[in-house]
Amino acid sequence: MSVVINTLNRREHLQRTLVALREQTYRAFEVIVVNGPSVDGTQAMLSSLEGTARVADCDVASLGRSRNVGIGTASGEIVAFVDDDAIPHEDWLEKLMAPYEDQNVAAVGGPVFDIPLDRVAWDLCTCTRLGGPNPSSEGPIDRYLDPGADPLAYLPGCNMSFRRQVLEVLGGFNSLLTYNYDDVEICSRLIDRGHRLHLVQDVLVRHDRAANAARDSNYGVRDPYPALYCRAVFALQCQQPTSRLQEVAAALRGAADEMVGLADNYLAAGSLTQAQRDAFVVRAQCGVSDGLKAGSGARPIVVFEPVSAELFCTYR
């Protein structure tokens, strides 16, 4: 197994994740850290991992591209992903690996425990093909796994794994998805190809929910552009029939209106000035329009080169 951690300006959180991975009961795994354009000393810290973990670079702040760098570097048959602000339980990898004994299983993941909320916040996750997510859907999961299912089941990005061979066939993650919906989109492609997705309820990851450029640690929105941009790309490229373009546009207008309402709430609470509120609304509108432009083109496909098993570096 290869464990990929995609990181950007979270040196201290990343260090905790790396320490936690040393406690895994399953030992036949390597760790690959894909560092974005970090400016917080992450690169210097990673230089000390030589012989312990493998390090790769992604020159832009794009989660989709960073995940593909990780896949292209991975030499394990199974590629697992965990966030740089997440702490996996010590038996995480052991329980992720077990379902792969069934050769028909293509992807395995589990719930995510939200540390600030002190509860599981992502359990049976589903999403409509218009981009409407539900992290706590009613089971059974099989109702969301048929090709073309809408809503469809997906594995949360900080607790998911895939057969590398399947990721190759699917053309990797959508590199246009810079911030979110990358996990939903890859699962939609997997399901629509008839592959099996498996959710294990006791494969647990604890998520600290660190702040980033788009939101704060309480999920307060700092910049609405990335989320709306990615939703537009996803909705257009999630194998939607052209007859649903009006539905896509209506759903995105609704999502943008929600952001406008949020900006008004921030203004009323005094956390934004009028000028900042107006700039926030413009960013939301640009996110939708730019996402629609980007999503109207072809879905990027990545061709991965074979990786020698001799590069496998057992994590220690």
- Answer whether CATH 3.90.550.10 is correct for domain 2-210: yes
**Alpha-helix runs per DSSP H in 58-211:** 63-73, 92-97, 164-170, 182-192
Neighbours of 169 (CB within 10 A): 14
User: Measuring CA to CA, which residue among 69, 175, 191 is closest to residue 126?
Assistant: 191
pLDDT digits (tens, 9 = 90+) for 150-199: 999 999 999 999 999 999 999 999 999 999 999 999 999 999 999 999 99
pTM for this entry: 0.95
pLDDT at residue 303, rounded to an integer: 97
pLDDT digits (tens, 9 = 90+) for 28-67: 999 999 999 999 999 999 999 988 999 999 999 999 999 9
pLDDT at residue 209, rounded to an integer: 84
Instruction: Produce one character per residue of 54-63: b if its CB has 16 or more CB atoms within 10 Å, e if not.
Output: bbbebeebbb
Q: Which residue ranges make up each domain of the chain? A: 2-210, 225-295
pLDDT at residue 78, rounded to an integer: 98
Question: Does residue 140 have a cis bond before it (omega within 30 degrees)?
Answer: yes
pLDDT at residue 241, rounded to an integer: 57
> What is the arithmetic mean of pLDDT over 233-253?
83
Radius of gyration of the chain (CA): 19
pLDDT at residue 116, rounded to an integer: 87
- Residues near 58 by beta carbon (within 8 Å), at least 6 away in sequence: 6, 34, 35, 36, 37, 65, 66, 69
Confidence band of 246 (pLDDT split at 50, 70, 90) = confident
Neighbours of 243 (CB within 10 A): 7
pLDDT at residue 239, rounded to an integer: 66
Q: Which of 139-143, 213-217, 271-275 has the lowest mean pLDDT?
A: 213-217
Confidence band of 218 (pLDDT split at 50, 70, 90) = confident
